[in-house]
Amino acid sequence: MLQIYNTLSRSKEVFKPLVAGEIKMYVCGMTVYDYCHLGHARVMIVFDMVARWLRASDYKVTYVRNITDIDDKIIQRALDNKEPIAALTQRFINAMHADSELLHLLPPDHEPRATHYIQQMQGMIGRLLEREMAYQSEDGDVNFAVRQFPKYGALSGKDIDELNPGERVAVIGGKRDPLDFVLWKKAKPEEPADTRWQSPWGEGRPGWHIECSAMSCDLLGQQFDIHGGGADLQFPHHENEIAQSEGANGKPFVNYWMHNGHIRVNQEKMSKSLGNFFLIRDVLKEFDPEVVRFFMLRAHYRSPINYTDAQLQEARSGLIRLYRALAETVGYEHPQTSNSVMKLEMIDAWKERFAVAMNDDFNTPEAIAVLFDLTSEINRLGAENPPLRLQLAHTLCALAATLGFLQRNPNSFLQSGDGVGEAAIDIQIAARQAAKQAKDFKQADAIRQHLLEQGILLEDKPGGLTIWKRV
Ligand SMILES: [Zn+2]
């Protein structure tokens, strides 16, 4: 039975979809004015894992992740670059898709762009005005009136009257309350032509929050199951989405709110000013995308993650250990498509342990621990009982598929190299162990000698462990 931690109730709840067997999920996507960084990678990987697990659990999932392609930062960047907005956003949408593909993300079912939903946004704003939950201020902007929505603050646990002034938006342009937020921004004379849409309230463009309310409502209905995003979006973005959607539709908006934790770099907040800001494309120059995915999923999605090279190296070693067990299994065949969502047809006891972990609020660290136990079992078997070993190897591959890794040809992963040749050494050690298990000591000695000639000395330790050092 799946349990999900719901930010709204601050507790794990038994998951019940609105329609049996079907799940509708919306995740806030990128604002496309720059390349995606590690924080974006985490959101994308976390909710890819969630979608995969729900599908592997036999739910029919509709997964929507939007693209914000109109926004202050986009307008500013386009002006700085002297480039049309559509050209700028398309460039970064393409870059995001390239990153997604490298990270083995399954494409969402819908990837709506805000600029294609202006009509739906205007419809929603119109309903909010009718219901007197919004007003047009003197400067021409249409604002949401937070005081008209008594539940405001419920998601983020903030009391509207106790919000500290630092968190309050400056009162500008005749807002009735500093917390009121913009639904429709009136065009300013200096703003470019491609940022203006006609509306009953004058030429202008939507505010950021209304974009998500309109797109999710149009594609998933006025009420749906899961809404996700980074923890930093809880307030004000998600709070505002709830206020707008429930205000306009008069019914509950989302049943389960999921938020993933932050990424820190060497224990510091990732920021451009600290110079510790990592783009996905730069990280992928040094590390295999599968290692990055594995690194992200070794942590629980709600926990903060600390990004360091050492952590990435450790993730790589872990992945090598898993792939090696597959590589050494006689008759093992890897799946033909790397992004397949496999049905869970495998050895029940392992499937059960894995499912218990995943159904406990997507506890991927625990699920990965099960994969390591399974790998130990495969390694313990050695050359004994090849059919069982093969079955265990396929179970390992199928379980890992639900997390989106271990789907490549193991040898090509192990040989992919890493600049210092560690993966190559590991595979040689694996080959030597396989030779020893097959009692081909001549071959085992030849491998040892070959490595020694390359300056790598192997030392056999008790328990079948082999370590190496450079000499
Ligand atoms: Zn959003």
Segment 325-342 shows an average pLDDT of 77
Residue 355 alpha carbon to ligand 1 centre in Å: 30
Segment 393-417 shows an average pLDDT of 89
pLDDT at residue 435, as a whole number: 80
Number of domains in the chain: 3
Same domain, 227 and 169: yes
Residue whose structure tokens are 């990153």 = 99
Q: What is the pLDDT of residues 92-147, one digit of tens each?
A: 999 999 999 989 999 999 999 999 999 999 999 999 999 999 999 999 999 999 99
**The domain containing residue 19 runs over which residues?**
3-260
Same domain, 332 and 253: no
Same domain, 301 and 410: yes
In the predicted structure, residue 6 carries a pLDDT above the cut 70? yes
Residue 342 alpha carbon to ligand 1 centre in Å: 30
In the predicted structure, residue 344 carries a pLDDT above the cut 70? no
Same domain, 376 and 464: no
Q: Which of 198, 231, 260 is the last residue of a domain?
A: 260
Q: Which of 414, 446, 461 is the last residue of a domain?
A: 414
Residue 28 alpha carbon to ligand 1 centre in Å: 4
pLDDT at residue 173, as a whole number: 62
pLDDT at residue 170, as a whole number: 52
Say what percent of the chain tops pLDDT 90. 70
Residue 26 alpha carbon to ligand 1 centre in Å: 9
- Reported as a pLDDT band with limits 50, 70 and 90, residue 167 is low
Do 16 and 6 form a contact (C-beta atoms < 8 A)? no
Classify the phi-psi angles of 397: left when phi > 0, otherwise alpha if psi is within -120 to 50, otherwise beta.
alpha
Residue 352 alpha carbon to ligand 1 centre in Å: 35
Residue 290 alpha carbon to ligand 1 centre in Å: 27
- Reported as a pLDDT band with limits 50, 70 and 90, residue 420 is very low
Same domain, 163 and 36: yes
Same domain, 207 and 308: no
Residue 151 alpha carbon to ligand 1 centre in Å: 19
- Phi, psi of 383, rounded to the nearest 5 degrees: -90, 0
Q: What is the mean pLDDT of the chain?
A: 90
Same domain, 44 and 62: yes
Better-predicted residue by pLDDT, 428 or 99: 99
pLDDT at residue 53, as a whole number: 96
- Reported as a pLDDT band with limits 50, 70 and 90, residue 268 is confident
Beta strands at 204-206 and 224-230: parallel, antiparallel or unpaired: unpaired
Nearest to 37 by CA among 179, 208, 230, 238: 230
How many angstroms separate the CA atoms of 145 and 133, rounded? 5
Residues 6+ apart with CB under 8 A from 411: 327, 427
In the predicted structure, residue 8 carries a pLDDT above the cut 90? yes
Segment 341-367 shows an average pLDDT of 85
Segment 182-210 shows an average pLDDT of 94
Nearest to 395 by CA among 411, 379, 371, 376: 371
Print the SS3 string covering the chain. Answer: CCEEEECCCCEEEECCCCECCEEEEEECCCECCCCCEHHHHHHHHHHHHHHHHHHHCCCEEEEEECEECCCHHHHHHHHHHCCCHHHHHHHHHHHHHHHHHHCCCCCCCECCEHHHCHHHHHHHHHHHHHCCCEEECCCCCEEECHHHCCCCCCCCCCCCCCCCHHHCCCCCCCCCCCCCEEEEEECCCCCCHHHCECCCCCCEEECHHHHHHHHHHHHHCCCEEEEEEEHHHHHHHHHHHHHHHHHHHCCCCEEEEEEECCEEECCEECCCCCCCCCEHHHHHHHCCHHHHHHHHHCCCCCCCEEECHHHHHHHHHHHHHHHHHHHCCCCCCCCCCCCCCCCCCCCHHHHHHHHHHHHECCCHHHHHHHHHHHHHHHHHHCCCCHHHHHHHHHHHHHHHHCCCCCCCCHHHHHCCCCCCCHHHHHHHHHHHHHHHHCCCHHHHHHHHHHHHHCCEEEEECHHHCEEEEEC
Question: What size, in residues, is the chain?
Answer: 471
Residue 280 alpha carbon to ligand 1 centre in Å: 21
- Reported as a pLDDT band with limits 50, 70 and 90, residue 417 is low
Residue whose structure tokens are 């309109």 = 214
- Reported as a pLDDT band with limits 50, 70 and 90, residue 306 is very high
In the predicted structure, residue 419 carries a pLDDT above the cut 50? no
pLDDT at residue 326, as a whole number: 95
Nearest to 74 by CA among 83, 66, 65: 83
Same domain, 105 and 219: yes
Same domain, 23 and 159: yes
Same domain, 319 and 361: yes
Q: Which of 216, 243, 260 is the last residue of a domain?
A: 260
pLDDT at residue 171, as a whole number: 54
Residue 68 alpha carbon to ligand 1 centre in Å: 8
Lowest mean pLDDT among 46-50, 269-273, 336-340, 446-450: 336-340
276: number of CA atoms within 13 Å, CB side? 13
Same domain, 356 and 218: no
Q: What is each CA distance from 231 to 57, 112, 224, 261, 389, in whole angstroms?
A: 26, 22, 20, 6, 42
Segment 200-217 shows an average pLDDT of 97
Same domain, 60 and 138: yes
38: number of CA atoms within 13 Å, CB side? 26
Ion ligand 1: residues, Cβ under 5 Å: 28, 212
Residue 11 alpha carbon to ligand 1 centre in Å: 22
pLDDT at residue 172, as a whole number: 55
Lowest mean pLDDT among 144-153, 209-218, 229-238, 462-471: 462-471
